[in-house]
Amino acid sequence: MAAAGSPLGKWDFFVSYTQADLAWAEWIAWILEEDGHRVVVQAWDFVPGTNWVQGMQAGTRDAVRTIAVLSPDYLASVYGGAEWQAAWASDPEGNGRKLLTVRVVECNRPDLLAGVVGVDLFGLDEMAARTRLRDMVAAAIAGRAKPAVAPEFPGAGRAVLHAARFPGELSIAGQVNVDQGWSSRITSRSAYLQQVRRIAPPDPPGLVGRQAELEELAGFSLEPDHGSYMWWRAEAWAGKSALLSSFVLHPPPEVRARVQVVSFLSPLDWLPRTPGRRLPRCC
pLDDT of 93 over the 90 cut: yes
pLDDT of 271 over the 90 cut: no
- Report, as an integer, the average pLDDT of 6-31: 87
- Domains in the chain, CATH or no CATH each: 11-142 (3.40.50.10140), 159-283 (no CATH)
Distance CA 221, CA 246 (A): 15
pLDDT for 132 = 94
Of residues 54 and 82, more confidence is placed in 82
pLDDT for 270 = 42
- Give tens-digit pLDDT for 111-160: 899 999 999 999 999 999 999 999 999 999 999 988 888 888 887 544 44
pLDDT for 263 = 65
Q: Using CA atoms in the order 137, 142, 144, 150, what is the torsion angle rounded to 10 degrees?
A: -90
- Give tens-digit pLDDT for 97-114: 999 999 999 999 988 999
Distance CA 221, CA 219 (A): 5
pLDDT for 9 = 56
Residues 6 or more apart whose CB falls under 8 angstroms from that of 132 comprise 119, 120, 121, 124
Of residues 283 and 161, more confidence is placed in 161
- Give tens-digit pLDDT for 158-203: 444 444 444 443 334 433 343 334 333 333 444 456 667 777 777 7
Of residues 28 and 283, more confidence is placed in 28
Strand partners, 11: 63
pTM as predicted: 0.54
- Give tens-digit pLDDT for 19-36: 999 999 999 999 999 999
Structural Rg of the chain based on CA atoms: 24
Name the DSSP class of 104: S
Distance CA 225, CA 122 (A): 35
Distance CA 197, CA 246 (A): 8
Q: Using CA atoms in the order 79, 32, 102, 72, what is the torsion angle rounded to 10 degrees?
A: -40
| C-beta of residue 196 within 8 angstroms of C-beta of residue 245 | yes
